[in-house]
Amino acid sequence: MGRTSPPAPPHRASPARVAGAYFLFALAWIWLSDRALLLMGVDPVETFWASALKGTAFIALSSALLYVMVRREVRALVRAIGLLRSVTEGTTDAVFAKDLKGRYLLLNGASARFAGKSVEEALGKNDAELFDPETARRLMDQDRAVIETGELRTWETDLDTPLGPRTYYSTKVPYRDSAGYVIGVIGTARDVTDRKRAETELRASEQRYRALVELAPESIIIVCDGRIVFANPATARMMNAPSTDALIGVELNAQLHSDEVAESVARQALILRDGATMGPREVRVRRLDGAVIDVETCAGPCAVNGVTGMQILSRDITERKRATALLAHQNRVLEQIASGAPLAAVLEEIVRIVEGQLPGTAGSILVLDRDGIHLRLGAAPHLPADYNAAINGVAIGACVGSCGTAAYTRKPVFVNDIATDPLWADYKHIALGHGLRACWSAPVFAAPRGPVPRTVLGTFAVYGRVPGAPDPRFGELIERAAHLASIAIESDRAVSDLRASEERFARFMAHLPGLAWIKDAEGRYVYANNTIGRVFGIAPADLCGRTDHDIAPAPAADQFQRNDRRVLADGTGLQVIETMAAPDGTEIAFLSSKFPIPGPDGRPALVGGVAIDVTEHQRAERALREREEQLRLFIDHVWAPIAMVDREMRYIHVSRRWLTDYHVALPDVTGLCHYDVFPEIPDRWKEAHKRCLAGAVERCDEDRFERADGSVQWVRWEVRPWYLPGGGVGGLIMSTEDITVRKRLEAQVQQAAKMEAVGRLAGGIAHDFNNLLTVINGFSDLILRDTSESDPQRLPLTEIRAAGDRAARLTQQLLAYSRKAMVEPKVLDLNELVTESVKLLRLVGEHIVVATVLDPARARIRADRGQIEQVLLNLVVNARDAMPDGGRVTIETQNVALGTDDWTDEPDLKPGPYVRLTVTDTGAGMTEQVRAKIFEPFFTTKGVGKGTGLGLAVVHGAVKQSGGHISVASEVGVGTTFTLLFPAVTEAPEQVPDAPPAPARGTETILLVEDEDAVRSITRLSLAGQGYKVVAVGSGAEALRAAERGTGPIDLLVTDVVMPEMGGRQLAEALRQRAPDLRVLYMSGYTDEVVLRSDRVEAFLQKPFSPQALVGKVRDVLDRGATPGAAEARAS
């Protein structure tokens, strides 16, 4: 690097110098130029031009001179400004100048940053424009103080700046002009925030260091001129001094053990002379109370009031050294335990350790028998032999000295004076006789094993020769000693137990019926029991070292070793069936359990295994599986639903019928809870299940089961427990039968029986009423025939006749309900009948709309036309009454074909073609209770006088009499639909015959037989009035006698069907023996009593009848025989 010359002295710019030089140059020019012209003698004209030339030259020269001088001065000024800027910008301090109004005339970048502005933004502004009001006020107060005093002032100020809270140290002086007047303020400011923070942290650090020294657990002292000048509280505690002041001025070397002084003085000289630092060293120090302790120290130099001293850090290691020694003794004891030393020797060593730590004492270890009652001497080397013998075998208890009580209460027992303590009341004479005055004992516990209390193994006791409390270190010592004793006793017992266990294991293996072995990784046997030797015919001792290939057939050996390798590779156990061919050729099966045995490195090194001969077991299992499969097949195909569950009601087996009868959608329910599959199971069944799980057997022949979907099933069930081999209940067997269809059929049978009973009653009533009505209506007709229109009696007679007709219609309804009405079944087209009937049905009410939806195909059935018309009328009238505010009735016909799965609850319905007739209304609908009774006679929901209750009963009877079926569906608020099914026929409809001609008179002989006198009378009068010869009798016997009297041939027998002694049928048969061609006209109130012959010589007349109907029927039989329709009539 080259050397640089010192800079030239700076040239200071001066305007006065420039003006003076210019003045001198102009003056010299004027004087010298004019003098030169005079000397040259220039004339006036020339003088003008010379002056002009001189002036021009002056201007040019003066301009050049001014340029040179001004440029020099400007350069000097620029250098000065640059130097000033370098100085102000090169410092981190703020430099600024203000005028008297506080406006910044000059400021460097540090000042601008202090204001959070650029230099250009800050120039010309005052503090109020740059800072917050409080900061601006404080700065202006400082400026005012400088201006007013005219003196230099300094401040340390905390200000809020755009950079945050900062601390500034500022210096300000007056800014004076050349006359000395103050025209502003010049100042500098230094940011001392970081320095102040560092000073604060330094003070805090000093305080922390002092606190650390004061609170340090180690001793810290400062020594100057060989005496202690500072000591912390830890030093006072270590030296057993009352306070740190007691140590000030103490001579250091006087407190050292005499053996330590020489070396310590040499080390102190090195520290003071060479400034060396001495590492840790153990020395013995005498405390102020005279006790000697072991201390570990390290030291180094330090300055104390300008004088070199020493700073020493010390730690009391007395207890540590004692613990180290004790640990060495413990390790020696553990080595004895590990080497298998006798228990007595180990316990004696433990006692000696404690006695060495507590001089003047005698220790004792007593071992508690495994019965937990008696204490036996373990070790007491320094107790008198007589005393040891006296306490050996003592039983523990609540007041049995220190040791017996400690073992009993499981707590330490400290007796400070045996002579006075009640725990020693029964034993103090033994102890005091041998000079033992105090005994401190603690129980020896076994290692913790889980949550159970720790087992007491014995006691550890220390005896004192004088009364008093134990040494403060006694608790820790006895705890360690008891722990060592615990290890020794448990180890000794473990060794004894291990020997016993090994002996038991050897005996166990010798008598184990199964095979047991251990093999190494190469498959060689390292252990085998007697059983495996017997199986392979080789002694166990000779088996060791051999492989499976040496003792077993090759296929079996390969199988054994393959499984062994699998266990070693996977590192997990394996249970497998292994087979081997016996010498006789049969196969032997073994259930082998193989497992890895880890080596020292934790990896599988050996293979252990046990095996049992399961040949017979496998045969039994195969037989059991076959039986189970048979049982499963039996359960699956048994006719009844059967389920078997465990105690938690989880399915074990179920039959297929169980799943189908109860509509279980799952393919397999094994393992599922019965109550989860059927959540709707009622509580009464759950209670029954609980009783059965307790051993009861429950059954019910009929029980109602309401399913989750609202349907109802009727079941017959039985639940009984099944038992485990031990006799406990393993679960339940539930057998059930769905009797829903049977219950429905029973209900139908009961309903049919009830309806039949009511029908018989109705038929009987109708029969009697028909007899009465025959008389009433007949005599009314006869009287009316002979009464003129003007006769006043004709009106009452007419009303009587009308009432008789109404009564006759009522009895006809009763007969129709009981299916005993006289019917003439014919093939009908139901579509045609509905079309014709609707014309009348639409008159049931103006507010009712009757619509039809008819099957385009022919809907042919065989029925009585009048009955079907009555059925339609009753159904539409019933619908009208259900729609008081109006509505719609729809009559629909449709040809349908019923399959075997249709209408399964109606056994009367056979598969085949049917014509379905439905009548639907939009009325109020019916409840389930009402719907169940609608076909019962005299049941009505209408008010009194608004219905007989026979309308739907007649419908039911008529449909049944026609071989049909009726059902009803109804929903409250929606409406009702009646569905009628009639067997379809293919024959063409029969033509309706023309109306018969008016009855004709006759002269034939008629035998009239009627047991009712009134009926017989009106019948005789009606026939006689038409010219017939009538022989009237009251019984069958009288009729036979009349025939025997031979009054003439009988052309027609007119007889009642039911009569006392001999009915009409028997009478006709008797008379036909004499006159085989005898024609017969039967009279009756219902048709169950009549079965007509098919030869058209018999006819039937339904009561009540009018005289006109009677004579017309008689004339018809006499002239043409029985009508085709009547000949085919029969009771339904």
By C-alpha distance, which of 806, 781, 758, 817 is closest to 1086?
817
User: How sure is the predictor about 75, in pLDDT bands with cuts at 50, 70 and 90?
Assistant: confident
Pairing label, strands 1005-1009, 975-983:
unpaired
Pick the CATH number of 1005-1127 from 3.40.50.2300, 3.40.50.920, 3.90.226.30, 3.80.10.10: 3.40.50.2300
Left (φ > 0), alpha (ψ -120 to 50) or beta: where does 731 sit? left
Assess whether pLDDT exceeds 90 at residue 768: no
Sequence-distant (6+) residues with CB within 8 A of 905 are 741, 744, 745
pLDDT confidence of residue 540? 83
Alpha helices in 372-473 (DSSP H): 385-391, 401-409, 428-432
Judged against a pLDDT cut of 60, whether residue 970 lies above it is answered with yes
**Cα separation, 31 vs 38, whole angstroms:** 11
905 has a pLDDT exceeding 60:
no
Are β-strands 1079-1084 and 1052-1056 bridged in parallel, bridged antiparallel, or unpaired? parallel
pLDDT at 35: 65
CATH number, domain 823-992: 3.30.565.10
Cβ–Cβ < 8 Å for 546, 526: no
pLDDT score recorded for residue 1096 = 47
pLDDT in tens, 114-159: 878 888 888 888 888 888 888 888 888 888 888 888 888 888 888 7
Q: How far apart are CA 106 and CA 89, in angstroms?
A: 12
Q: CATH homologous superfamily of domain 321-499?
A: GAF domain (3.30.450.40)
> Is residue 1094 very low, low, confident or very high in pLDDT (cuts 50, 70, 90)?
very low
**Mean pLDDT over residues 866-889, rounded?**
84
Comparing 177-186, 784-793, 858-867, which segment has the lowest mean pLDDT? 784-793
**What number of other Cβ atoms are within 10 A of residue 808's Cβ?**
22
Mean pLDDT of the 989-1011 span = 71
What does the alpha-carbon distance between residue 59 and residue 56 come to, in Å, rounded to a whole number? 5
- Could you tell me how many residues make up the chain? 1132
In tens, the pLDDT along 171-198 reads: 889 988 878 888 899 888 888 888 888 8
Q: What is the mean pLDDT of residues 412-428?
A: 92
**Do 807 and 825 contact (CB within 8 A), yes or no?**
no
Contacts of 536 (CB under 8 A, 6+ apart): 543, 551, 552
Assign 1123 a pLDDT band (cuts: 50, 70, 90).
very low
Residues 6+ apart with CB under 8 A from 1031: 1005, 1006, 1007, 1008, 1042, 1047, 1050
Return the top range by mean pLDDT from 159-168, 316-325, 381-390, 703-712: 381-390
Closest CA to 844 of 805, 875, 865: 875
Q: What is the pLDDT of residues 619-665, one digit of tens each?
A: 888 887 877 777 777 666 666 788 889 999 999 888 888 887 777 87
Q: Is 767 a residue whose pLDDT tops 70?
A: no
- Write down the CATH number for the domain with range 512-613: 3.30.450.20
Provide CB contacts within 8 A for 781, sequence distance 6+.
Answer: 801, 1106, 1107, 1108
Question: In the prediction, which pLDDT does 810 show?
Answer: 60
In the CATH scheme, what architecture does the domain 638-738 have?
Answer: 2-Layer Sandwich (3.30)
Reference 571, options 604, 600, 522, 610; nearest CA is 604
pLDDT tens per residue across span 938-961: 666 665 445 556 667 778 877 887
**Per-residue pLDDT at 30 exceeds 80:** no
Q: Give residue 943's pLDDT.
A: 53
Single out the residue of 1085, 711, 127, 556 nearest to residue 117, CA to CA.
Answer: 127
- Angstrom distance (rounded) from CA 323 to CA 479: 13
pLDDT at site 694: 92
Q: Considering the entire predicted model, what is its pTM?
A: 0.35
d(CA 14, CA 792): 173
> For residue 302, is pLDDT > 80?
yes
**735 CB contacts (<8 Å, ≥6 apart)?**
640, 641, 642, 717, 718, 719
Counts of helices then strands in the chain (DSSP H, E): 34, 37
Q: What is the mean pLDDT of residues 22-41?
A: 70
* CATH code reported for the domain at 216-316: 3.30.450.20
pLDDT at 383: 92
pLDDT on residue 4: 33
Find tokens 């009587």 and name the residue: 800
Pick the range with the lowest mean pLDDT from 466-480, 767-781, 907-921. 767-781
pLDDT at position 995 is 47
Residue 5 confidence class, pLDDT cut points 50, 70, 90? very low
Average pLDDT value for the chain: 81
Cα–Cα distance, 357 to 364 (Å, whole number): 14
Q: What is the pLDDT of residue 748?
A: 63
pLDDT tens for each residue of 218-244 = 889 899 988 998 998 988 888 889 988
What's the mean pLDDT in 1036-1043? 86
pLDDT for 721-756, tens place per residue?
999 988 899 999 898 888 877 777 776 666 666 666
91-198 — its CATH code? Answer: 3.30.450.20
Cα gap 1054→1032, rounded to integer Å = 9
Beta bridge partners of 459: 366, 443
| 210 pLDDT more than 90 | no
d(CA 489, CA 456): 11
The percentage of residues in the chain with a pLDDT greater than 70, rounded to a whole number, is 84
User: Angle 44-89/15-40 helices, nearest 10 degrees?
Assistant: 160
Which residue type does 50 have?
A: A
Residue 301 backbone dihedrals phi, psi, to 5 degrees: -75, 155
According to DSSP, the residues that pair with 1101 across neighbouring strands are: 1083
Higher pLDDT, 480 or 376: 376
Using the predicted structure, report yes or no on whether residue 1087 has a pLDDT greater than 70.
no
Q: Which amino acid is at 668?
A: D
What contacts 640, CB < 8 A, 6 or more positions away? 655, 657, 735, 736, 737
Does residue 1023 have a pLDDT over 80?
A: yes
Q: What is the mean pLDDT of residues 1066-1087?
A: 84
